[in-house]
Chains A and B, each alone.
Chain A
């Protein structure tokens, strides 16, 4: 069965303390893996699309990587404004319906 699992469920960091969030997936025919950021009470904000194993993308303090089984979102020297829930979703085959993880809730303390 197609599945996306994110870990940890919650993560608390001190400002400047780098870490990684994990998104593992079991889907057939992966067409793309997406990372989104979601602030409380708002819609998800698109961050990255990764298409194939070995691909990496960066934006400010965030770097996303992809293997054949999982993706990592690396956060370097986080700031309190990076606090949010980070969601991972995959797009498989010709099905337009994305398969979503439950997210990682990140809190960065000043």
Chain B
């Protein structure tokens, strides 16, 4: 299977701890996105990479959130000093550079629970 993969699938952490999630996009896709989704809501945009460059970051993203894509392949999303409000599903998506519009293919997500 050559779809988007995410690791871990579930993470339970205590408030104040740091967590890091990994995303492996579809291999030929050079665009990578991170989203956050809570129950009953659509995905909320966090950040976007084209190759290794982080081109856009949501204003809603606090300084506790950081993302990297060092070699233009996999990406990591780190949340420092987690808060209960960070509990959500964190989704990664990738898309090819060609095409009229940005068809994004999503991974299975990482479910974060902050206790």
**Which residues on A are within 8 Å of B, measured CB to CB?**
31-32, 34, 36, 41-46, 49, 51, 87, 89, 91, 96-98, 100-103
A103 touches B42 (CB 8 A): yes
CB distance from B38 to the nearest CB of A (A): 11
The complex places the Cα of A88 from the Cα of B45 at a distance, in Å, of 14
CB distance from B40 to the nearest CB of A (A): 7
The complex places the Cα of A44 from the Cα of B42 at a distance, in Å, of 10
Residues of B83-115 at the interface with A, using a CB-CB cut-off of 8 Å, are 89, 91, 93, 100-109, 111
Q: Does B31 contact A (CB under 8 A)?
A: yes
Interface Cβ pair total, 8 Å cutoff: 64
Residues on A with C-beta less than 8 A from B108 are 42-43
Question: Besides the contacts A41-B109, A103-B42, what 11 more A-B pairs have beta carbons closer than 8 Å?
Answer: A34-B104, A41-B89, A41-B111, A43-B91, A43-B106, A46-B103, A96-B33, A96-B48, A96-B55, A100-B42, A101-B42
Residue of B nearest to A42 (CB): B108
A49 touches B105 (CB 8 A): no
B40 touches A102 (CB 8 A): yes
CB distance from A95 to the nearest CB of B (A): 8
The complex places the Cα of A49 from the Cα of B99 at a distance, in Å, of 11
